[in-house]
Amino acid sequence: MNGIFRKKIYQKDKTGLPRKIGVLDLVLLGIGGIIGAGIFVITGQAAALYAGPGIVLSFLLGAITIGISALVYAELASAYPVAGGAYSYTYASLGEIIAWLVGWNILLEYGIAASAVATGWSGYFRRFLEESLGIHIPKEISGSFNLEAGTYIDLFAFLALVFVFILLTIGIKESATFNNFIVALKLLVLIVFVIFGLPHINFANFSDFLPYGWEGVWRAAALIVFAYLGFDAIATVAEEAKNPNKTVPLGLILSLAISTLFYMVVSFVLVGMVSYKELNVPDALAFAMYKVNEPIIASFISIGAVITIISVLLVMGLGFTRVIFAISRDGLFFKQFADIHPRFKTPYKATILGGILLSTLAGLIPLKILAELVNIGTLFSYLIVAIAVLYLRKTEKDYNPSFKVPFGNILLYINIILLMVVMAGLPHETWIRFIVWCIIGLLIYFLYGYKNSRRIES
């Protein structure tokens, strides 16, 4: 039975994927996965319902919790620059069964995040088509499968994912280039928001700074933590990065740092422009601009948000395929899914599988069910990865990463405690689904992975 804790020893320079992406691509892929529905959709609601203007402090708290996780990822990425991210780090440290559980949960998380964001995106897109262009979308194709409501498929959510996965099949460089454009637009949207919002800040809006007290700040932090997740996906593409020992850690840290800066400033401007009481709307940034009589800027922000959320789909989809690839290469899942396309040089079978699964999921399942499942898988992997670093530092003599979490003896423990507190605040149903998913995963592991693992040979 102790085979379940067998470890993988990584050989350097053995890779089937071409190294095509550089540090700028990585930073922008990170930002592409981080900045999305969180800042555009959740910020306003979290301010209105939980934190008030103190939302700025919630963002700070989220930044501390998740910021340490980014450092942890950077340390492990510098030690193990291989595909698969947290899954692979765990395989090298805590052993196969834990690695499988981490990989299994990350798959669900990336899959659900991509599908949920696609459904949310589709809602915005339909509204845009109807309100701005007057194009009416038939009801049958405008919602998840629900006979009573008369909807069969959310066609735009489905198509958005099909598009993203075609791009991912064609090539990593092509995907990164597309993402670079989207992220540039995304940052422009936020900069425009700040520039046009600043003059409208009314300091009276800050007078009641913590209307719901510190507890509200904390509850809002648990909610907006979602906005920070996503940088971990770039750890999964390490085998396609040039000089990964250096570029991947840099990409992880810079993408989160830049996003954090934007979040702090944007949330400050937002609650300065309008009273938090009015912000319980799904498009708070555009709404605030309407409120201060800047309708053109408001439209620009709405359209920008719609376009730029696509990058979250792309990066989550990318992470999904690379985790399947790594797991299959290790023999824990069907080996065919590690095949690389002769011309495109992408793990195309894993990508096609991901495309079929996620577009169907997004087309047929309602957003609410999807969104409730999210966060826990990623937070779980952040937690395990922090434990893995502590373990490696204590037990492995040869463990010598080129980057180390500074003040690790304090920060790692703070990270673990904060993550557990945030996880404890997640809804009950999320926990039940998490446990059910883990049990299904363990069954698959014992019925398939345990017997087929390539580690058996070593």
Residues that bind ligand ARG (CB under 6 A): 34, 36-38, 109, 113, 117, 226-227, 229-230, 312, 316, 374-375, 378
State in angstroms the smallest separation of the CB of 36 from ligand ARG.
3
Nearer to ligand ARG, 77 or 229 (CB): 229
State in angstroms the smallest separation of the CB of 66 from ligand ARG.
10
Tokens standing for residue 193: 């928001």
Nearer to ligand ARG, 71 or 229 (CB): 229
State in angstroms the smallest separation of the CB of 448 from ligand ARG.
25
CA 167 from centroid of its chain's CA atoms: 19
Nearer to ligand ARG, 430 or 452 (CB): 430
State in angstroms the smallest separation of the CB of 322 from ligand ARG.
14
Nearer to ligand ARG, 110 or 333 (CB): 110
3-state secondary structure the chain: CHHHHCCCCCCCCCCCCCCCECHHHHHHHHHHHHCCHHHHHHHHHHHHHHHHHHHHHHHHHHHHHHHHHHHHHHHHHHHCCCCCCHHHHHHHHCCHHHHHHHHHHHHHHHHHHHHHHHHHHHHHHHHHHHHHHCCCCCHHHECCCECCCCECCEHHHHHHHHHHHHHHHHCHHHHHHHHHHHHHHHHHHHHHHHHHHHHHCCHHHHCCCCCCHHHHHHHHHHHHHHHHCCHHHHHHHHHHECCHHHHHHHHHHHHHHHHHHHHHHHHHHHHHHCCHHHCCCCCHHHHHHHHCCCHHHHHHHHHHHHHHCHHHHHHHHHHHHHHHHHHHHCCCCCHHHHCCCCCCCCCHHHHHHHHHHHHHHHHHCCHHHHHHCCCHHHHHHHHHHHHHHHHHHHHCCCCCCCCCCCCHHHHHHHHHHHHHHHHHCCCHHHHHHHHHHHHHHHHHHHHHHHHHCHHHCC
**Residues belonging to the chain:** 458
Nearer to ligand ARG, 38 or 401 (CB): 38
Give the C-alpha separation, 335 to 349, whole Å: 10
Nearer to ligand ARG, 121 or 333 (CB): 121
State in angstroms the smallest separation of the CB of 116 from ligand ARG.
8
449: closest CA among 441, 457, 439?
441
Nearer to ligand ARG, 152 or 263 (CB): 263
Nearer to ligand ARG, 37 or 367 (CB): 37
State in angstroms the smallest separation of the CB of 231 from ligand ARG.
9
Nearer to ligand ARG, 99 or 116 (CB): 116
State in angstroms the smallest separation of the CB of 128 from ligand ARG.
18
CA distance readout (Å), 247 to 242, 328, 382, 394: 7, 25, 20, 26
State in angstroms the smallest separation of the CB of 334 from ligand ARG.
24
Answer for the pair 117, 316: CB distance below 8 angstroms, yes or no.
yes
Nearer to ligand ARG, 49 or 137 (CB): 49
Nearer to ligand ARG, 267 or 378 (CB): 378
State in angstroms the smallest separation of the CB of 302 from ligand ARG.
16
State in angstroms the smallest separation of the CB of 449 from ligand ARG.
23
State in angstroms the smallest separation of the CB of 89 from ligand ARG.
16
